[in-house]
Each structure stands twice: as C-alpha cells, then as structure tokens.
Amino acid sequence: MFDYRRITLFAGHYGSGKTNIAVNWAAMLRQHEEKVMLADMDIVNPYYRAKDSKERMDALGIKLISSFFANSNVDLPSIPQEMYAIVDDRSWHPVLDIGGDDRGALALGRYAPKILEENDYEMLFVINRFRPLTRDAAGTMEVLREIEAACRIPFTAIVNNSNLGAETAPEDVLSSLSYAEDVSALSGLPIKMTTVSESLYPELSGAIPDLFPLELQRRPTE
Amino acid sequence: MSEKVLMKGNEAIAEAALMAGCRHYFGYPITPQTELTAYMAKRLPKMDGVFLQAESELAAINMVIGVSSCGKRVMTSSSSPGISLKSEGLSYLAGCCLPAFVVNVQRGGPGLGGIQPSQSDYWQATRGAHGDYRTIVLAPDSVQEMVSLTIKGFELADKYRMTAMLLADGTLGQMMEPVSLDAGEIKTFDKPWATTGTKMARPHNIINSLSLIPEELEQWNLERFARYDEAEANEVMYEEYRMEDADVCVVSFGITARVSKNAVDEARANGIKAGMIRPITLWPFPKKPLLAAADKVKAFISVEMSMGQMIEDVELATRCKKPVLLCSRTGGVIPSVKEVLEKINEAEKIGGDRA
C-alpha cells in the first residue's frame, strides 16, 4: 500500500513513462477512493495519450479528462475547461499526467498557485536511465530543474521507471537502482517507488523496495 | 557503447545523424517530427554544432544548400506539408550536385491533412520536384533501422553527391523501441568540389544550378544521371521474408511492413504460402527481386498507407506479369493485420496459375 495525497502529479522527460504510470496509479487509487480522475495534461505528445486507456478507465469508474483533440488529426495544444475541477472540486482525487519536459509542464503553471495553496499534493519526477538524455544523474537533474522552473511546483519524490520497453530484463531494473539513488542524492528527493511491467513484478518484488506493477497501455486497434 | 537505450524514432534519427558527423541542423518544427528538432536543439550546442530554427521551411532548406556547399554534413527534417515547402530547395540541391540528408516523417495529406501517420508522400519522395533528378529514398521499419539508415543516408549522399531522404511516418517517429547506438565505422568522402577557400592554390569551385547554355545544362544532366545509374546499380536494399515457396507476395515498406509481416505469418499458419518483399530503398527500387518473384508467385499485394502509389512501381518492376492488388488505408489509419490477411486470401484465390 502506497500513501497518497489528494492530487498526484507525474512529470518528467518525455518518453519516461508518465502516462502508463498515471493510468496505473489512478487504478490503484480507485481501490481506496470513490472519486478518482485521470487528467491528461499533455499538450506536447501527438500520439500515445492517456485517452488510449479510456476503456480501462471507464470500466474502473475513473473519470478521464482529456483534450477533445487528443489522438485526433488536429494538432491543438489545448486543455479542456473542466480541468479546473482538479483544484476547484476537492472531493476528487485527481491524477495528473503532465506533458513531457519543460514545454509540457508549462501548462501546469496555471493551476500551480491553487495546488500549492492547498498543499495536499505529490509531485513525482519520473525517470528512466535508458533514455538517451537522462542516462546519468547530472543529465536527469537538468530536466528536473527545467520542469520545476516551467511549472513552478517543486518535485516531492522520484519514481524510477527505468526500462527498455519490451526488452527490459530484471537486471536492467536492478542496475538502475544506483542511478535512482544518485538522482535522489543530488536532488534531495526520496524515491517513492520503482515501477516495472506486471510481467517482471513477481521476479523483482522481493528484491526492490516499493515496487509498483504497471499494466502497460496499448494503443487501441480496430 | 553496447548497452541499449530506449528511444523515440525521431530522437534516434537525430542521434544517428550526430554519430554520422552531422553538426549542422536547420529546421522548423512540425508534428509528428518535432522531437527530432527538439533533440538537436538540446544536443548540438553542447557539441560545438549549429542548431538553427529557421523562420520557415524554405529558409531551412536554403541553409542546407549553403552548408553543403562548404562540404559539411548537414540535414533538415520535416513532415509532409513542410517537405512540400522545401521542394524548391531539393531541386536546387540536385541542380548544384550537392549532398544532403533530409527526413520526412509523414502525416496524412494532401494539404494540411492531419497529424496521424501516412505514407502518401511516396510519389513526392521518389519523384521529387522540378527537373530531371533522383533522390535516394530510405524507408526504415524500426527505430533501430532509423539509426542505421540515417548513417547510411549521409554516406550515400556524399558518395553520389545527391540528396538522401529518410522516409518515415508518424508512428515510426513517435514509437519507442530499444536501440543499440553502435555505429561501427562511419564512411567519409573527399569533397574536392566544396567551396572551402582556394588559398590561392587552386581554381575557384563554383556551386551553381543555373546554366545559360542549353548544351552545357544537358551535359550536367548526363553527368548527374551517370551517378544515378551507379547508385541504382549498387545501392538497392530490400528484405525478403518467407519468399522461398510463396504463392502470394506482399510488398510493403515502413510501418505497414511490420503489419504485413504479421499477416504473412498468420496466412502461413492458415496454410497459405505468403511471403513479403520489403523495399528498404524506395529509390532505387528493388526491381530485380520483384521481377524474379513474378515468375514464381500467383499475385502481388501492395500494402500502403496511400491511395495506391507504390503499386505503380510494383507493376513496372514486375512488368505486369502477375496481378497486383492494393491493400490501403489513408488519412492517418494504419491497415490492420486482418485487412492484409483478407487481401492475401483474395490474392490466393484470384491469382493466376503458379509458373
């Protein structure tokens, strides 16, 4: 059981795995809370959006807030009006999927004052050692600072999502732990959890503390 | 550097270009290839390179002409509508006999079309803009191949003094796959024609696409085409998949080749002898293996995300010896395995006798 606050925000380098983690975090929260919403605040990514998990969210009774234009043929970086519910209606537990990098995080700034004022949030920095620009702690810190500067919400913890996609081996995850610790040491942030695909979870659950399994989202096909 | 990294296709192209020695990038962002531009913006300044977001696509391609004239490896990238804007420059590059590496991460068209993936710039890529010229067109089907073909593209461009275009699509650009960035040896070529300063030791090199004398222009065209002939003779790349005893030959490139491969496997599981020829170079087109297959199979299927463009090259290559069916989706829709499979079943039934 992971502890949580009212608002959970996932941000990080694009391609670090934020959307998958946000979807699964929302599913976990739903086991404890009635009113859970998944808010797709990605204004950067044209494909592979939280909206791909709409069926799963519907089945779990999780409200999905997403741009009308997500996954469409139109490139409109927009956020729907109902996004204000994340700060205006405190009866909900929103999970926010923030778009990649500082450019993606810029849109969050609009909600930052109210999120900070309420102070019942967790701002999680998703990292993946196998992404080319965040292969070491120094490069990863650069992304962290850029995002914080853009959205004006400081991170509160780290999510280690180091993976090589379908080719991820248990050793890859294990070898990423020291990297996550380096980022933790440099940033002063605790490591909240390490995330792995469900298939790797049984093998690693004894070896890594705070391990969180991910059911990977797929783009729906006809 | 044997350890793999997880990369988006767009990033992989950018990193591979850096590995190939490219230190000059000029571009203008457009979905779905923007990550390529963004990656270059982050990496090039740290490598003493030049990243410049031009004021327009037209400006970007003309900056490519400038740097290429100086003999440096240079590139630009865009998506379909942006490539149309760059077309004038592509013709000028050919007229000037300059090497360049150009990336098109295709989206749906025509016009502004949409941002979802497409392969409907096949004609534009293989036929090009005004004037008699050719473009080497490379069509990767994985993020790993985007790395190898980017490096290959720079090499071929220099070798034949022509543009090499990487023709990808939005899905390949956006998808993430583990890749090895082990490039091996990068080939470089002398460029005695480059405008690098005479140092008063040689005659001036002149880069120019304008000729005032018709016979001179004709001579330039003949020289250009001699180089194209050489490229056509030496640089054809393709993959054959389960073609040994195939009755039906699927022809497909890029992302649709991945779908087609699955369809071929399913057809085989259902007892239909299907195979695939995947052109990796769209120009030069793999004419020989297709013509050879025409004597063996009952029918061909061209699987494309366009209204039927490559199908004409398949018909030409096979000299219409066997029927060529079309399996296509457009507008940003990727054909499903089921759709390809249905076409394979159809081809198996209507195809003529096996030779």
pLDDT exceeds 80 at position A75? no
Most distant pair of Cα atoms in chain B: their distance: 72
- Give the count of Cβ contacts less than 8 A between chain A and B: 64
Task: Tell me what pLDDT residue A43 has.
Answer: 78
Task: Tell me what pLDDT residue B3 has.
Answer: 85
Q: For residue B6, which residues of chain A lie inside 8 Å, CB to CB?
A: 15, 128, 130-131, 163-165
Q: Are B224 and B305 in the same domain?
A: no
Q: For residue A130, which residues of chain B lie inside 8 Å, CB to CB?
A: 4-6, 178
Strand partners, B278: B239
Q: For residue A164, which residues of chain B lie inside 8 Å, CB to CB?
A: 4-6, 178
Q: How far apart are CA B17 and CA B10, in angstroms?
A: 11
pTM across the whole model: 0.93
**What is the CATH classification number for the domain harbouring B45?**
3.40.50.970
Residue type, B14: A
With beta carbons less than 8 A apart as the criterion, state whether A12 and A146 touch.
no
With beta carbons less than 8 A apart as the criterion, state whether B346 and B338 touch.
no
Q: Of B5, B35, B113, which is closest to A130 when you measure between CB atoms?
A: B5
Closest by CA position to B81, among listed B104, B65, B101? B104
Confidence of residue B12 (pLDDT cuts 50, 70, 90): very high
Taking residues B236-260, what's their average pLDDT? 98
Residue B186 is classified by DSSP as P
Q: Above pLDDT 90, what percent of chain A?
A: 78
Confidence of residue B249 (pLDDT cuts 50, 70, 90): very high
* Contacts with B219 (C-beta within 8 Å, 6 or more apart), sequence order: none
Q: Above pLDDT 70, what percent of chain A?
A: 98
Shortest Cα–Cα distance, A221 to chain B (Å): 8
CB contact, 8 Å: B41 with chain A? no
pLDDT exceeds 80 at position B220? yes
Domain boundary (B234, B262, B288) is at: B234
Q: Above pLDDT 90, what percent of chain B?
A: 97
| ipTM surpasses cut 0.95 | no
Q: Are B207 and B263 in the same domain?
A: no
CB contact under 8 A, A165 and B31: no
Chain A's closest residue to B9, CA to CA, is A15
Q: How far apart are CA B155 and CA B150, in angstroms?
A: 9
pLDDT exceeds 80 at position A1? no
Q: Are B145 and B198 in the same domain?
A: yes
The angle that helices B143-160 and B214-234 make with each other, rounded to 10 degrees, is: 140
CB contact under 8 A, A15 and B108: no
**What is the CATH classification number for the domain harbouring B309?**
3.40.50.920
Q: For residue B332, which residues of chain A lie inside 8 Å, CB to CB?
A: 73
Shortest Cα–Cα distance, B114 to chain A (Å): 4
* Contacts with B262 (C-beta within 8 Å, 6 or more apart), sequence order: B337
Q: Are B302 and B186 in the same domain?
A: no
Strand partners, B50: B24
With beta carbons less than 8 A apart as the criterion, state whether B17 and A142 touch.
no
Q: What is the dihedral of CA A68, A69, A72, A77, to 10 degrees?
A: -160
Confidence of residue A33 (pLDDT cuts 50, 70, 90): very high
Q: What is the dihedral of CA B84, B86, B91, B95, to 10 degrees?
A: 180
CA angle A17, A20, A26 (to 5 degrees): 130
Question: Per the omega criterion (within 30 degrees of 0), is the bond before A132 cis?
Answer: no
Q: How far apart are CA A194 and CA A206, in angstroms?
A: 12
Query: Does B181 fall in a domain?
Result: yes
Shortest Cα–Cα distance, A88 to chain B (Å): 33
Q: Are B230 and B333 in the same domain?
A: no
The number of helices, as runs of H, and strands, as runs of E, in chain B is: 12, 14
Q: Are B29 and B145 in the same domain?
A: yes
Q: Above pLDDT 70, what percent of chain B?
A: 98
Q: Are B325 and B203 in the same domain?
A: no
Confidence of residue A220 (pLDDT cuts 50, 70, 90): low
DSSP A67-132: -TTTTSS-------GGGGHHHH-TTSEEEEEEPSHHHHHGGGGGGHHHHHHHT-EEEEEEE-TTSG
Q: Are B79 and B209 in the same domain?
A: yes
Domain boundary (B199, B234, B269) is at: B234
Q: What would the two tokens of residue B136 be?
A: 């080497």
Q: What's the mean per-residue pLDDT of chain B?
A: 96
Q: How far apart are CA B122 and CA A145, in angstroms?
A: 42
pLDDT tens, A150-178? 999 999 999 999 999 999 999 999 999 99
pLDDT exceeds 60 at position B354? no
pLDDT exceeds 70 at position B2? no
CB contact, 8 Å: B15 with chain A? yes
Q: How far apart are CA B51 and CA A101, in angstroms?
A: 19
Query: Which residue pairs, CB below 8 angstroms and at least 24 apart, start in B268-274?
Result: B268/B242, B272/B247, B272/B248, B272/B344, B272/B345, B272/B348, B273/B245, B273/B246, B273/B247, B273/B248, B274/B242, B274/B246, B274/B247, B274/B248, B274/B249, B274/B250, B274/B344, B274/B348
Q: Are B194 and B280 in the same domain?
A: no
Task: Tell me what pLDDT residue B1 has.
Answer: 41
pLDDT exceeds 80 at position B314? yes
CB contact under 8 A, A46 and B174: yes
Residue type, A34: E
Q: How far is the CA of B117 from the CAs of A72, A73, B256, in angstroms?
A: 11, 9, 11
Q: What would the two tokens of residue B222 be?
A: 């003949």
Q: Are B228 and B265 in the same domain?
A: no
Q: What would the two tokens of residue B107 be?
A: 């989206």
With beta carbons less than 8 A apart as the criterion, state whether B302 and B324 touch.
yes
CB contact under 8 A, A46 and B113: no
CB contact under 8 A, A73 and B108: yes
pLDDT tens, B108-155? 999 999 999 999 999 999 999 999 999 999 999 999 999 999 999 999
Taking residues B86-107, what's their average pLDDT? 98
Q: Which domains does chain A have, with CATH numbers?
A: 7-214 (3.40.50.300)
Closest by CA position to B240, among listed B270, B205, B275? B275
SS3 breakdown of chain A: % helix, strand, coil, rounded to 5?
Answer: 45, 20, 40
CB contact, 8 Å: B11 with chain A? yes
Lowest mean pLDDT: which of A78-92, B14-28, B188-202?
A78-92
Q: For residue B7, which residues of chain A lie inside 8 Å, CB to CB?
A: 15, 131-132
Q: What's the mean per-residue pLDDT of chain A?
A: 92
CB contact under 8 A, A47 and B176: no
CB contact under 8 A, A128 and B7: no
pLDDT exceeds 80 at position A71? no
Query: Does B40 fall in a domain?
Result: yes
Q: How far apart are CA B222 and CA A51, in angstroms?
A: 55
Query: Does B355 fall in a domain?
Result: no
pLDDT tens, B152-180? 999 999 999 999 999 999 999 999 999 99
What is the residue range of B54's domain? 5-234
* Contacts with B129 (C-beta within 8 Å, 6 or more apart), sequence order: B87, B88, B90, B91
Domain boundary (B193, B210, B234) is at: B234
Q: Are B331 and B196 in the same domain?
A: no
Domain count, chain B: 2
CB contact under 8 A, A73 and B114: yes
Q: How far apart are CA B111 and CA B216, in angstroms?
A: 37
Q: How far apart are CA B82 and CA B57, in angstroms?
A: 6
Q: How far apart are CA A27 and CA A37, in angstroms?
A: 10
Give start and end residues of each alpha helix (H) in B208-284: 214-234, 254-269
Residue type, B296: K
Count CB atoms within 10 A of the CB of residue B38: 22
Q: Are B129 and B244 in the same domain?
A: no
pLDDT exceeds 90 at position B355? no
